[in-house]
Structure 1
Amino acid sequence: MAIGIIEIQNLVNGYLVSDQIMKMVDCRIIHYEKGLGGRLITIVFEGNVSDLNIAIDDIRNMYHETTLLKVAEVIANPPIELMMYFEKGVFQ
């Protein structure tokens, strides 16, 4: 199990990235945040490591000539505390 974290400018780009990733691999969105009135979007996906690596690499390639993509990372085997934060919004 892994999580993929995307942080991108603009709400519409967040929709496009989510659509691309979810059509490409078997995963689900477990958390999202809108900052700066929707101008900065963070989306967290849960899936297996290899699938998320493929999808995140594709997103990096898609946005490599822009400054819109701020973060695109995969965390393999995330700690339970981090997962609880993403699912419930609180650290325990």
Structure 2
Amino acid sequence: MKSYEAIGVVEAQHFATALELVDEMCKTSHVQLLGAEKYLGGRLVTLIVGGSIGSVTAAVKAAREVCAKKPRNPLKMSLVIPKPHAEIMKFIIPAQLEAEAMEAAAEIRQPEQQETVEEQVETNIRQPKAENSKQPVQKQAGAVQRQKSQGQIKTSSTSKGTKNKK
């Protein structure tokens, strides 16, 4: 788990305002967005950023300034937590870790899929299709299976090595 010197929490009204605040905070200082939570259908949004103490302080201050310029000041709460405890970070980063794990799994699966497609292309190029391919045999086998299931063909079971005793 990545540790941060500080985390900043900003809570504002309206999702559009929150997007504006994230943009301003990231442009103002070198912080990383750790999480965003929407409450009340996007009318109340909590943003959590992490980084060095100075960067997080500057980012939160920039968010306060942006909201102060707006009518009705949409900022509900903002704070900086220096040296957050590992137990606090467990509540903030689990969603991020889960997303990173899913991205890593997708990256692992993606090269395998590309290899199989490339192998299929190579085999198709190297081995041209013959007229007597397995398709007619497979079709015949399928037809026989259908007839057996419908009872049109009777199968006899012979057991080898057994003799009738008198």
The TM-score normalised by the length of structure 2 is 0.51
1:30 paired to 2:63: no
- Aligned CA RMSD, in angstroms, stands at 1.3
1:26-64 Cα deviation digits (max 9, x unpaired): 111111110000000001001111111112112212222
Question: What SS is found at the alignment partner of 1:67?
Answer: coil
Which residue pairs with 1:4 in the alignment? 8
2-structure distance, mates of 1:27, 1:53: 10
Alpha-carbon offset, residue 72 of structure 1: 1.2
Larger radius of gyration: 2
2:20 counterpart letter in structure 1:
L
Contact 2:31/2:59 (<8 A) preserved:
no
Structure 2 portions without partners, runs of 5+: 96-166
1:52-82 Cα deviation digits (max 9, x unpaired): 1112112212222633101111100011011
Correspondences of 1:48-67 after superposition (within 5 Å): 48-64=52-68, 66-67=72-73
2:23 to 16, 19, 33: 19
Alpha-carbon offset, residue 18 of structure 1: 0.3
2-structure distance, mates of 1:59, 1:67: 11
1-structure distance, mates of 2:65, 2:19: 17
Identity %, equivalent residues:
28
Q: How many residues align?
A: 89
Which structure dedicates a bigger proportion of its chain to helix? 2
Structure 1 portions without partners, runs of 5+: none
1:81 paired to 2:81: no
Tell me which of the two structures has the higher relative contact order, counting C-alpha pairs closer than 8 angstroms and 6 or more residues apart.
1
Which structure dedicates a bigger proportion of its chain to strand? 1
Contact 2:9/2:78 (<8 A) preserved:
yes
Q: Which runs of 4+ in 1 moved over 2 A?
A: 64-67
